Every structure is written in C-alpha cells, then in structure tokens.
C-alpha cells in the first residue's frame, strides 16, 4: 500500500464502528461493462454500426466473462464480504424463447465461486442492455415486455438458487429511460439530467413490481429490490418546491415504486442545486471528475437523507458510489468523505444496510474508456489486473472479523 493510502482515514475516524453488525461491504460491477463479447445485445449492435455516435466500443471489455474468478479473489482478499454483479439477459436468452443452459451454468459458477470464497452475491438482472431481439420488439414498451422478463426470471432460477443473497431487478431505471440523451446533458447526472418519458417510467415500474412478485414466489426469503440513480438535489434558498418538482420525475417516482421491497439501492455520484427557475445551477469553476460530474463526495449523505424522507420504511443499500479520477489518492479522498456523510445520515436515523463501491475494475463507461472508476486498473491488451492502493484501503474498512459466512 502506498504511503498516501496508509495515512488515509480508517474505520474509527470515518465512524464505521457505529454501523450495525452484518453491514454489507462490497464492490459492484456491471455485466456488459466488464464481460466482453456480448454479441446478442442491443448495445453490441449499436456500438458496431457505422456512425453509431458511440465514441469507443466495448469489445472484449475487461474479459471478466473468463476472469471472474480472479475478480472475486481480488475482492475477497482485500476484505470485502459482498459482490454485486450482473447477469446478461442477451447471453442467457440470445434468441426469443431460447434459453442457453450453458450460460445459466456459467453464472451458477460465478455464484458458487463467490460463496465458496466467503462473498455474498447480489445479482443484477438487467443493467441497461437488452437482448437485441427484445429491443427489436420494442423493448420495455412492447406489449409482451412483462411476460418476456418473467420468463427470463424463471430461467435464471438456478443461478439465484445457487446462493444469491439478494437480487436487483433493473439497474437505474431512471437513467435507462434517458440514456440516449445523457451525453447531451450540460453537466450530466445532476447538472440537467433529462426528464424520463412518463410512458417509459410507467412501463419500468410495472415490470419491476411484477418481477419482485415473481422472484418472491420463486425464491421465498430472497431479498429483492432495484437500484435508483439518486443524486443529491438541493434547493437554492426559497426553491424547495422547485427542487422537489425537479426530483420527482427524475428519481422520486422510482424510489416510491420500491415501497414494500426488501431494499432500495441508492446509487449516488454527485449533486446539484436547483434554482428558483426550476433548473440546475451549473458552476463552471467547480472541481470535476473525468466524466465532467461535480466532485461532491458528501452527496452520498444528502441523497440518503432524501431517500429516507421519500420512502422512510424501505431499508437502503448503497449499491453504487464512486468517482472517475486518474489519481487514486483522489478516489480515497472522495470515498472517505462519502462514507463519512453516509454515517452522518445513519446517525440521523437513515436505515442503511450496506455499501457497495462502484467499481471493482476500470471498465467500459457506456461509450468511453477514459473515466476510470476502478479500485483495480486493467491492461486492456493483456487483461492483467493491477490493484490500486484504494482497493486495500477500502477493503480493510470492512468490520474486523466479519465474513459473509459469519
Ligand atoms: C451505472 C453504471 C455506470 C456508473 C458510472 C451508473 O449510472 O449504473 O453502469 O458505470 O453509473 O457512470
């Protein structure tokens, strides 16, 4: 570990000793962003069209499809007890109605390897990508969407039964709904996130509710929820109503749809101030990350407090939080402040059950390789993994003596 990492704040300084026993301590990765070669997905198709408008292709990604055992071993040996990863619908069902048992078995292998190492697996069933055939039918807005997704949920039952401890149905429905327009937004995420189309919002909420019911029926006792992109929207003086109106279609409607779930995943990176005119105020002089978002670590605490107000009865798991920086010391700085703000929100009564850092690996950022969120760097030619000091630092913050088996 570098000198900088050694002098970075520890458990007690951050206040993590005050967390409830059994607090989940993990990393998150997404399927398409790490696996590579997801040939049957809509994103693969788009990335490989001439004039796709997508700057850089995903290609082999970081080859986690073949190297997941290494990724899991790095996670566990750093001290983490939890691992969130995605299963890729387009691999499991590459053609309408054809379930690849070989691919189901592949993911069973990931779950078994994770649990044998002492990691609790959280599965994401859908993370932005769709099977190309499903997209061609109209995707989430098509008439058969619910039936198709439930059929997929039934098909992946062996993966869940192999030892998943929790399942996230859909990753960031609110970002999915605006993904095509995100790059045009002036400050990304909090600085002018486009407003989702209400038809898409309704469709995603409908499918999520049906998915939760089906997962509970198939797997009694399984913990089920979804993860919502939740930034720290704050109000300029006197603009409380405007801030609330801004947040409502962008995340609050999705948060409320998690009522009755076992958890809601809070996925926070940044924040923004909503002005009297109802629009985000963009500060051109602000410190920014590699993807242009404002460097605002304590947004995590702010977002958690807001989620607690919107859905006070739903337990929170931070399922994504992290920062795209090239200097790893800045990642440690950001994460230490983010965690401190999380503990502050917990002290004030928020029911937070776990923290998953985005991300284990430097990965493909939806059209770009430059924004590096990883605790581990990856050589894209050899796929060699090189842990950064932040991996050992963050892993060591897990509760001492806690293993996921304990
Ligand atoms: C997504 C991830 C993405 C991360 C950082 C979240 O919106 O779930 O896929 O890589 O933010 O941009």
CATH number at residue 79: 3.20.20.80
Q: 127 C-alpha to center of ligand 1: Å? A: 9
Ligand 1 pocket: which of 35, 125, 172, 288 to mutate (most atoms within 8 A of CB): 172
The answer, yes or no, to whether any atom of ligand 1 lies below 6 A from the CB of 289, is no
- Mapped onto helix, strand or coil, the DSSP state of residue 223 is strand
Question: pTM of this prediction?
Answer: 0.97
Provide the pLDDT for residue 2. Answer: 41
- Where the chain has pLDDT below 70, the residues are 1-6, 182-192, 405-406
Closest to 361 measured CA to CA, from 125, 24, 62: 62
Ligand 1 pocket: which of 29, 366, 372, 374 to mutate (most atoms within 8 A of CB): 366
Q: 30 C-alpha to center of ligand 1: Å? A: 8
Distance CA 105, CA 169 (A): 20
Q: 236 C-alpha to center of ligand 1: Å? A: 27
Ligand 1 pocket: which of 35, 177, 194, 358 to mutate (most atoms within 8 A of CB): 358
The answer, yes or no, to whether any atom of ligand 1 lies below 6 A from the CB of 229, is yes
Provide the pLDDT for residue 189. Answer: 59
The residue assigned the tokens 């570098």 is 2
Is the preceding peptide bond at 359 cis, omega within 30 degrees of 0? Answer: yes
The residue assigned the tokens 């997962």 is 215
Distance CA 145, CA 135 (A): 10
End-to-end distance of the chain based on CA atoms, in angstroms? 27
What are the Cα distances from residue 293, in Å, to 2, 144, 286, 322, 350?
Answer: 27, 37, 9, 11, 26
Provide the pLDDT for residue 7. Answer: 78
Find the domain containing 313 and state its range: 3-404
Count of the separate structural domains present in the chain = 1
Name the packing angle between helices 299-310 and 328-347 (round to 10°). 30
Provide the pLDDT for residue 188. Answer: 57
Lookup: tokens for 326: 């090239």
Q: Which residues pair with 226 in a beta bridge?
A: 264
Distance CA 270, CA 189 (A): 8
Q: 380 C-alpha to center of ligand 1: Å? A: 20
Q: Which residues pair with 126 in a beta bridge?
A: 170
Atom of ligand 1 nearest to the CA of 128: 9
Closest to 8 measured CA to CA, from 311, 249, 337: 337
The answer, yes or no, to whether any atom of ligand 1 lies below 6 A from the CB of 358, is yes
Which residue has its alpha carbon closest to ligand 1 atom 10?
A: 365
Distance CA 181, CA 200 (A): 14
Which residue has its alpha carbon closest to ligand 1 atom 3?
A: 365
Provide the pLDDT for residue 243. Answer: 96
């Amino acid at each position: 570990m570098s000198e900088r990492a050694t002098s970075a704040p520890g458990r007690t300084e951050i206040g993590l000793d005050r967390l409830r026993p059994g607090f989940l301590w993990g990393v998150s990765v997404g399927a398409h962003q790490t696996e590579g070669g997801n040939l049957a997905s809509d994103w693969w198709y788009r990335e490989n069209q001439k004039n796709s408008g997508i700057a850089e292709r995903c290609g082999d990604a970081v080859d986690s499809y073949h190297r997941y055992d290494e990724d899991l071993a790095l996670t566990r040996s750093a001290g983490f007890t939890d691992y969130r990863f995605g299963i890729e619908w387009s691999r499991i069902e590459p053609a309408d109605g054809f379930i690849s048992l070989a691919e189901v078995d592949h993911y069973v292998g990931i779950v078994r390897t994770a649990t044998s190492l002492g990691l609790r697996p959280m599965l994401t069933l859908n993370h932005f990508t769709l099977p190309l055939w499903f997209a061609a039918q109209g995707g989430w807005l098509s008439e058969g969407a619910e039936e198709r997704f439930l059929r997929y949920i039934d098909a992946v039952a062996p993966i869940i039964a192999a030892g998943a401890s929790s399942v996230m149905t859909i990753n960031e429905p609110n970002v999915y709904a605006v993904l095509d327009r995100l790059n045009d937004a002036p400050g990304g995420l909090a600085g002018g996130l486009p407003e989702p189309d209400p038809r898409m919002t309704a469709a995603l909420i409908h499918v999520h509710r049906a998915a939760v019911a089906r997962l509970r029926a198939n797997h009694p006792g399984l913990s089920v929820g979804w993860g919502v992109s939740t930034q720290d929207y704050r109000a300029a003086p006197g603009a409380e109503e405007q801030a609330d109106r801004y947040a409502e279609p962008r995340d609050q409607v999705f948060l409320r749809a998690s009522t009755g779930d076992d958890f809601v995943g809070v996925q926070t990176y940044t924040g923004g101030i909503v002005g009297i005119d109802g629009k985000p105020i963009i500060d051109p002089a602000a410190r920014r990350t590699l993807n242009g978002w404002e460097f605002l670590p304590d947004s995590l605490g702010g977002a958690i407090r807001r989620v607690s107000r919107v859905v006070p009865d739903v337990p929170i798991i931070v399922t994504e939080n992290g920062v795209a920086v090239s200097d790893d010391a800045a990642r440690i700085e950001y994460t230490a402040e983010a965690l401190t703000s999380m503990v502050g929100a917990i002290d004030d009564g928020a029911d937070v059950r776990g923290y998953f850092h985005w991300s284990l690996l430097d990965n493909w950022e939806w059209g770009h390789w430059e924004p590096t969120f990883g605790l581990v760097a990856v050589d894209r030619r050899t796929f060699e993994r090189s842990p950064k000091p932040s991996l050992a630092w963050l892993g060591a913050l897990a509760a001492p003596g806690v293993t996921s088996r304990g």
